[in-house]
Amino acid sequence: MAIDGLIILDANGRPIIQSGYTSFPPAYPLLHIDALNNELAKAPSSGIIDPIIYVASGGGGDMPDGSACCHIQVREMRMLASISGDLDPLVAFAFLQAFHDILQDYFGTVSTVTLKGNFDTVYQLIEEILDSSGHPLTTSPSILRDIVIPPSLLSTLLASLPASAPSVGRSGGPTSLNNTGGAFASPIPWRKVGVRHNSNEILFDVTEEMRAIVGRNGATLASNVIGTIECNSRLSGMPDLLASFSNPNVMAECAFHPCVRLQRWKREQTLSFIPPDGKFVLGEYQYAPPQKVVVNNLPIPVALKPNIIIGELGGSFTVTFTSRMMKAMENVKIEWYLGEDATGAQCTLSGAGSGVGSTGGAEGSWTFDSRKKILRWEIPSMHSSGSRVLRGSWTSKAQVPRPAHAFQIRFELPSYSFSSLKIDHVRLSSETYKMYKGVRMQSCGSIEWRW
């Protein structure tokens, strides 16, 4: 089975770009657009709806018996993929994310104005990444840039030339069909031949994200750490790299870029690969803790102690946030949905053990989003083993308010790794130049804390 088609909707729910649904009647994509708009109309003010929406058959011989609309939100827009039959929805979401990454690589900012100003480029990209049968094709930005030229002043001028004018390549010289630097001239699909850089370097960004759910009694219900190794390669020629880790045993359930030689990883737990040119994701993994630590029950680096009293037309609360880390946290954000009938909130901030309240400063700042009905507490920087307290009250139009029974906590830990994974060495072969290697470790967390 394959993806039926791709649609991009603007902020008002109107389609601005749509792939060709060649195997379906014209009413089929309209059913998916209407299904998504109907769910958004019924959604609360927060605008949160299910990522997969069932679409009933509209009747007719060519209509599938049942289909689904998989969608993601990108700024003010919605990107949706129609699927039917036995296709795994995760395939559709992976395709939507890859398509969004490609648009971001081409245009920088993905918005309605950007897409409307580059209709021709977007439709060319859709033709290259999704065939007429709905199967994903080329999704590598480095290869697509040789097939679909990114928008620029040069490409705009070339488009205005008459058809009889000689074509000009990216280097400024005439192009020909036998050009050895073409997109499909290389024996390696993800890297073209003849790449040259003034400075040869490769940069690694290892990011680990903790996702966890904590029950109302403070016990961890589920937690795991997902790691991503991102690279930015600016190496000339055809470099063959070998990367070794100090503790590769912490990596489990690995998924690597096609450039990685899997047999060598299984045999030696080292990464041998010829990298694509530019930015790419080298691999993803799940942190496998030591045997004494239960899998999916890793220790949580923060603690939250909420004391909430719900009364008529509102309530009061005292929330204490504590860091259990020995290093500073950054960009701490705590969100609490106060219910669709919430009308406002008043809060004060203080450090633990201090009775002096403030509306901002070292304790952070708070805001109430009147549209999404979310109380947001932000702490730009929090020292090791510190605590902060948020006290306040909120009002509601409902006689009995119904706030969410969970807080959403997000934080960042620069230069830190939950798994203590380290890249030891990166060796270059098949090329004679000296290579610079840079490695940056960072971690973040996304925790649902129930009360």
pLDDT digits (tens, 9 = 90+) for 356-391: 444 455 678 999 999 889 999 999 998 777 789 999
What pLDDT does 180 receive?
44
CATH number among 3.50.50.60, 2.60.40.1170, 2.40.110.10, 3.40.50.720, domain 302-414: 2.60.40.1170
What pLDDT does 295 receive?
54
CA-nearest of 157, 289, 159 to 224 is 289
Q: Which two tokens stand for residue 396?
A: 């509601």
Q: Which two tokens stand for residue 92?
A: 């559709």
pLDDT digits (tens, 9 = 90+) for 432-451: 999 999 999 999 999 999 99
| SS3 assignment, position 341 | coil
CA-nearest of 182, 233, 209, 15 to 112 is 15
Asked if 418 contacts 225 with a C-beta cutoff of 8 angstroms, the reply is: yes
Q: How many helices (H) and strands (E) does the chain have?
A: 7, 22
Where in the chain are all domains bearing CATH 2.60.40.1170?
202-294, 302-414
Length of the chain: 451
Strand partners, 84: 67
> Scanning the structure block, which residue is given the tokens 């929406």?
53
- Report the alpha-carbon distance of residue 46 to residue 307 in Å, rounded: 24
- Report the alpha-carbon distance of residue 108 to residue 89 in Å, rounded: 27
The H or E element containing residue 411 is strand 406-414
Q: Which residues contact 370 (CB under 8 A, 6 or more apart)?
A: 343, 344
CATH topology of domain 3-152: Beta-Lactamase (3.30.450)
Give the type of residue at 280: F
Residue 4: count of CB within 10 angstroms of its CB: 25
CATH topology of domain 202-294: Immunoglobulin-like (2.60.40)
The strands making up 374-382's β-sheet, listed across from edge to edge, are: 251-256, 278-287, 220-234, 201-214, 436-450, 406-414, 329-337, 374-382, 364-369, 360-361
- What b/e string do you get for 37-60 counting C-beta neighbours within 10 Å, with b at 16 or more? eeebeeeebeeebeeebebeeeee
- Report the alpha-carbon distance of residue 220 to residue 122 in Å, rounded: 45
- Report the alpha-carbon distance of residue 288 to residue 354 in Å, rounded: 40
Residue with the larger pLDDT of the pair 431 and 383: 431
User: What values do phi and psi take at 345, rounded to 5?
Assistant: -150, 150
402 burial type by CB count under 10 A (0-12 exposed, 13-18 middle, 19+ buried): middle
- Report the alpha-carbon distance of residue 235 to residue 188 in Å, rounded: 15
Q: Which two tokens stand for residue 315?
A: 């309530």
In this structure, of 281-285, 350-354, 429-433, the range with the lowest mean pLDDT score is 350-354
Where in the chain are all domains bearing CATH 3.30.450.60?
3-152
pLDDT digits (tens, 9 = 90+) for 53-111: 998 876 655 677 778 999 999 988 999 999 988 889 999 999 999 999 999 989 888 99
